[in-house]
Structure 1
Amino acid sequence: MKQFKLSTILLSLIAVVLSGTIFFRLVEGWTWLDSYFFTVITISTVGYGELVPATALGKIGTTFLIFGGLGVFAVAIREFANFHMQKREEHTEWLVGHLGHRKADQDPPAANEDEQPDPH
Protein backbone atom coordinates (compact mmCIF):
# COMPACT_ATOMS: atom_id res chain seq x y z
CA MET A 1 0.00 0.00 0.00
CA LYS A 2 1.17 3.47 -0.79
CA GLN A 3 1.99 5.64 2.19
CA PHE A 4 0.98 9.28 2.06
CA LYS A 5 2.70 12.24 3.66
CA LEU A 6 0.96 13.73 6.67
CA SER A 7 0.87 17.14 4.99
CA THR A 8 -0.87 15.69 1.92
CA ILE A 9 -3.53 14.02 4.05
CA LEU A 10 -4.14 17.10 6.19
CA LEU A 11 -4.33 19.41 3.19
CA SER A 12 -6.74 17.03 1.45
CA LEU A 13 -8.97 16.85 4.52
CA ILE A 14 -8.93 20.62 4.93
CA ALA A 15 -9.73 21.08 1.23
CA VAL A 16 -12.67 18.68 1.37
CA VAL A 17 -14.11 20.18 4.56
CA LEU A 18 -13.59 23.74 3.37
CA SER A 19 -15.08 23.14 -0.08
CA GLY A 20 -18.04 21.25 1.38
CA THR A 21 -18.67 23.98 3.93
CA ILE A 22 -18.57 26.73 1.29
CA PHE A 23 -20.72 24.68 -1.09
CA PHE A 24 -23.52 24.10 1.42
CA ARG A 25 -23.35 27.69 2.64
CA LEU A 26 -23.91 28.97 -0.90
CA VAL A 27 -26.25 26.31 -2.28
CA GLU A 28 -28.40 25.47 0.73
CA GLY A 29 -28.12 28.83 2.52
CA TRP A 30 -27.19 27.19 5.82
CA THR A 31 -25.08 28.96 8.44
CA TRP A 32 -21.33 28.44 8.32
CA LEU A 33 -21.55 26.23 11.39
CA ASP A 34 -24.36 24.09 9.95
CA SER A 35 -22.53 23.78 6.63
CA TYR A 36 -19.32 22.72 8.38
CA PHE A 37 -21.20 20.32 10.66
CA PHE A 38 -23.03 18.68 7.76
CA THR A 39 -19.78 18.27 5.82
CA VAL A 40 -17.98 16.61 8.72
CA ILE A 41 -20.81 14.24 9.67
CA THR A 42 -21.24 13.29 6.02
CA ILE A 43 -17.59 12.40 5.30
CA SER A 44 -17.27 10.59 8.62
CA THR A 45 -20.42 8.55 7.80
CA VAL A 46 -22.10 9.55 11.06
CA GLY A 47 -25.03 11.25 9.35
CA TYR A 48 -27.28 12.43 12.19
CA GLY A 49 -30.06 13.39 9.77
CA GLU A 50 -30.69 16.79 11.37
CA LEU A 51 -29.70 18.59 8.17
CA VAL A 52 -30.81 17.38 4.76
CA PRO A 53 -30.14 19.14 1.46
CA ALA A 54 -33.37 20.53 0.01
CA THR A 55 -32.17 21.56 -3.44
CA ALA A 56 -31.34 19.28 -6.34
CA LEU A 57 -27.86 20.80 -6.60
CA GLY A 58 -27.36 20.25 -2.87
CA LYS A 59 -28.29 16.58 -3.18
CA ILE A 60 -25.97 16.07 -6.15
CA GLY A 61 -23.18 17.91 -4.35
CA THR A 62 -23.71 15.69 -1.32
CA THR A 63 -23.17 12.57 -3.43
CA PHE A 64 -19.88 13.97 -4.74
CA LEU A 65 -18.90 14.90 -1.19
CA ILE A 66 -19.64 11.34 -0.03
CA PHE A 67 -17.57 9.72 -2.77
CA GLY A 68 -14.62 12.12 -2.62
CA GLY A 69 -14.69 13.03 1.04
CA LEU A 70 -15.15 9.51 2.31
CA GLY A 71 -12.14 8.38 0.29
CA VAL A 72 -9.93 11.09 1.79
CA PHE A 73 -11.30 10.41 5.27
CA ALA A 74 -10.66 6.65 4.92
CA VAL A 75 -7.06 7.24 3.82
CA ALA A 76 -6.53 9.56 6.80
CA ILE A 77 -7.88 6.93 9.22
CA ARG A 78 -5.74 4.21 7.61
CA GLU A 79 -2.58 6.29 7.88
CA PHE A 80 -3.38 7.17 11.49
CA ALA A 81 -3.75 3.46 12.30
CA ASN A 82 -0.53 2.61 10.43
CA PHE A 83 1.36 5.27 12.37
CA HIS A 84 0.21 3.84 15.70
CA MET A 85 0.95 0.26 14.66
CA GLN A 86 4.46 1.28 13.62
CA LYS A 87 5.03 3.01 16.96
CA ARG A 88 3.80 -0.10 18.79
CA GLU A 89 6.20 -2.31 16.80
CA GLU A 90 9.10 0.03 17.54
CA HIS A 91 8.23 -0.04 21.24
CA THR A 92 8.03 -3.84 21.23
CA GLU A 93 11.40 -4.09 19.50
CA TRP A 94 12.87 -1.70 22.06
CA LEU A 95 11.47 -3.79 24.93
CA VAL A 96 12.84 -7.03 23.49
CA GLY A 97 16.21 -5.37 22.91
CA HIS A 98 16.44 -3.98 26.44
CA LEU A 99 14.81 -6.78 28.38
CA GLY A 100 16.14 -9.63 26.29
CA HIS A 101 14.32 -12.58 24.88
CA ARG A 102 14.69 -15.86 26.74
CA LYS A 103 14.57 -19.19 25.03
CA ALA A 104 12.29 -21.91 26.34
CA ASP A 105 15.18 -23.91 27.88
CA GLN A 106 16.34 -20.81 29.78
CA ASP A 107 13.01 -20.05 31.39
CA PRO A 108 12.89 -20.58 35.13
CA PRO A 109 10.37 -23.17 36.33
CA ALA A 110 6.91 -21.91 37.02
CA ALA A 111 6.30 -20.83 40.61
CA ASN A 112 3.29 -23.12 40.93
CA GLU A 113 4.92 -26.17 39.34
CA ASP A 114 4.61 -29.33 41.46
CA GLU A 115 7.81 -30.65 42.96
CA GLN A 116 8.78 -34.20 42.22
CA PRO A 117 8.53 -36.52 45.25
CA ASP A 118 11.76 -37.57 46.89
CA PRO A 119 12.47 -41.26 45.97
CA HIS A 120 13.70 -42.17 49.55
Structure 2
Amino acid sequence: MNIRRVIAFFSTLPAIIIGGTVFFHHIEGWSWIDSYFFTVVTLSTVGYGELVPATVVGKIGTTVFIFVGLGIFAVAIQQFGAFAMRKREEHTEWLIGKVRHAPHVHEDNQDHAANIDTQPDHTK
Protein backbone atom coordinates (compact mmCIF):
# COMPACT_ATOMS: atom_id res chain seq x y z
CA MET A 1 0.00 0.00 0.00
CA ASN A 2 1.42 3.37 -0.95
CA ILE A 3 0.38 6.97 -1.39
CA ARG A 4 -0.80 6.28 -4.95
CA ARG A 5 -3.43 3.85 -3.70
CA VAL A 6 -4.67 6.36 -1.14
CA ILE A 7 -4.87 9.06 -3.81
CA ALA A 8 -6.64 6.67 -6.19
CA PHE A 9 -9.31 5.83 -3.64
CA PHE A 10 -9.84 9.45 -2.63
CA SER A 11 -10.03 10.60 -6.24
CA THR A 12 -12.69 7.95 -6.86
CA LEU A 13 -14.92 9.50 -4.21
CA PRO A 14 -15.48 12.78 -6.12
CA ALA A 15 -16.19 10.73 -9.24
CA ILE A 16 -18.91 8.84 -7.37
CA ILE A 17 -20.42 12.09 -6.10
CA ILE A 18 -20.39 13.59 -9.59
CA GLY A 19 -21.83 10.40 -11.09
CA GLY A 20 -24.60 10.27 -8.49
CA THR A 21 -25.42 13.94 -9.01
CA VAL A 22 -25.69 13.52 -12.79
CA PHE A 23 -27.72 10.31 -12.39
CA PHE A 24 -30.32 11.82 -10.04
CA HIS A 25 -30.51 15.03 -12.06
CA HIS A 26 -31.42 13.14 -15.23
CA ILE A 27 -33.46 10.24 -13.79
CA GLU A 28 -35.43 12.11 -11.12
CA GLY A 29 -35.43 15.50 -12.83
CA TRP A 30 -34.11 17.23 -9.72
CA SER A 31 -32.06 20.42 -9.82
CA TRP A 32 -28.29 20.09 -9.77
CA ILE A 33 -28.07 21.26 -6.18
CA ASP A 34 -30.84 18.88 -5.04
CA SER A 35 -29.18 16.00 -6.88
CA TYR A 36 -25.82 16.83 -5.31
CA PHE A 37 -27.41 17.21 -1.87
CA PHE A 38 -29.20 13.85 -2.15
CA THR A 39 -26.00 12.17 -3.34
CA VAL A 40 -23.91 13.45 -0.43
CA VAL A 41 -26.62 12.84 2.17
CA THR A 42 -27.14 9.30 0.89
CA LEU A 43 -23.42 8.53 0.66
CA SER A 44 -22.84 9.82 4.19
CA THR A 45 -25.79 7.71 5.44
CA VAL A 46 -27.38 10.78 7.05
CA GLY A 47 -30.63 10.38 5.10
CA TYR A 48 -32.64 13.49 5.96
CA GLY A 49 -35.60 12.23 3.92
CA GLU A 50 -36.21 15.56 2.21
CA LEU A 51 -35.73 14.01 -1.21
CA VAL A 52 -36.90 10.53 -2.13
CA PRO A 53 -36.56 8.91 -5.56
CA ALA A 54 -39.98 8.59 -7.20
CA THR A 55 -39.07 6.45 -10.20
CA VAL A 56 -38.26 2.75 -10.22
CA VAL A 57 -34.95 3.45 -11.95
CA GLY A 58 -34.16 6.08 -9.32
CA LYS A 59 -34.92 3.68 -6.47
CA ILE A 60 -32.83 0.88 -7.97
CA GLY A 61 -30.07 3.34 -8.81
CA THR A 62 -30.11 4.59 -5.22
CA THR A 63 -29.64 1.10 -3.79
CA VAL A 64 -26.78 0.37 -6.19
CA PHE A 65 -25.27 3.78 -5.41
CA ILE A 66 -25.45 3.09 -1.67
CA PHE A 67 -23.68 -0.28 -1.91
CA VAL A 68 -21.02 0.85 -4.37
CA GLY A 69 -20.50 4.28 -2.83
CA LEU A 70 -20.32 3.09 0.75
CA GLY A 71 -18.04 0.23 -0.23
CA ILE A 72 -15.59 2.54 -1.95
CA PHE A 73 -15.85 5.09 0.87
CA ALA A 74 -15.13 2.38 3.47
CA VAL A 75 -12.12 1.11 1.53
CA ALA A 76 -10.82 4.68 1.14
CA ILE A 77 -11.08 5.27 4.89
CA GLN A 78 -9.38 1.92 5.60
CA GLN A 79 -6.57 2.67 3.15
CA PHE A 80 -6.04 6.11 4.67
CA GLY A 81 -5.96 4.63 8.18
CA ALA A 82 -3.47 1.95 7.16
CA PHE A 83 -1.30 4.58 5.44
CA ALA A 84 -1.37 6.84 8.52
CA MET A 85 -0.52 3.92 10.83
CA ARG A 86 2.40 2.89 8.62
CA LYS A 87 3.76 6.44 8.61
CA ARG A 88 3.45 6.60 12.39
CA GLU A 89 5.28 3.27 12.77
CA GLU A 90 8.05 4.49 10.46
CA HIS A 91 8.39 7.65 12.53
CA THR A 92 8.47 5.65 15.78
CA GLU A 93 11.17 3.36 14.37
CA TRP A 94 13.15 6.42 13.28
CA LEU A 95 12.89 7.90 16.80
CA ILE A 96 13.97 4.61 18.39
CA GLY A 97 16.96 4.51 16.04
CA LYS A 98 17.95 8.03 17.03
CA VAL A 99 17.69 7.18 20.74
CA ARG A 100 19.75 4.02 20.30
CA HIS A 101 22.52 5.93 18.58
CA ALA A 102 22.41 9.01 20.80
CA PRO A 103 25.29 9.54 23.24
CA HIS A 104 24.20 8.57 26.72
CA VAL A 105 24.70 10.91 29.63
CA HIS A 106 26.17 9.15 32.66
CA GLU A 107 25.86 10.93 35.97
CA ASP A 108 27.46 10.07 39.23
CA ASN A 109 24.47 9.07 41.32
CA GLN A 110 26.54 9.20 44.52
CA ASP A 111 26.99 12.97 44.17
CA HIS A 112 23.25 13.41 43.77
CA ALA A 113 22.43 11.10 46.65
CA ALA A 114 24.67 13.11 49.01
CA ASN A 115 22.72 16.27 48.24
CA ILE A 116 19.30 14.80 49.05
CA ASP A 117 17.87 16.00 52.36
CA THR A 118 16.41 12.95 54.06
CA GLN A 119 14.80 14.90 56.92
CA PRO A 120 11.41 16.41 56.01
CA ASP A 121 10.99 20.11 56.73
CA HIS A 122 7.89 20.48 58.93
CA THR A 123 8.21 24.24 59.25
CA LYS A 124 6.74 24.98 55.85
Query: 2:63 matched to which residue of 1?
Result: 63
TM superposition shift of 1:66:
0.8
Percentage of identical aligned residues: 60
Q: TM-score w.r.t. structure 1 length?
A: 0.71
Q: Structure 1 residues 68 and 5, CA, compared in 2 at 3 Å: closer, same or farther?
A: same
- Residue identity opposite 1:21 in structure 2: T
**In the alignment, what sits opposite 1:114?**
none
Contact 1:13/1:73 (<8 A) preserved: yes
Q: Deviations over 1:59-109 (max 9, x none)?
A: 1110010111111111111111111111111121122112239xxxxxxxx
Superposition CA RMSD, Å: 2.2
Deviations 1:41-60 (A, max 9, x none): 22222222222212222111
* Counterpart in the other structure of 2:117: none
Structure 2: unaligned runs, 5 residues or longer: 102-124
Q: Structure 1: give runs of 5+ residues left out of the alignment.
A: 102-120
Name the residue aligned to 2:79.
Answer: 79
Q: As a proportion of its length, which structure holds more helix?
A: 2
Aligned length: 100
SS at match of 2:36: helix
Change (3 A) 1:65 1:99: same
> In structure 2, what is the equivalent of residue 18 of structure 1?
18
Question: Is this contact kept in 2: 1:44–1:73, CA < 8 A?
Answer: no
| Matched letter for residue 23 of structure 1 | F
CA distance in 2, matches of 1:39, 1:56: 17
Q: Distance in 1 between matches of 2:85 and 2:30?
A: 40
- For the residues of structure 2 that align with 1:84 and 1:47, how far apart are their CA atoms? 30
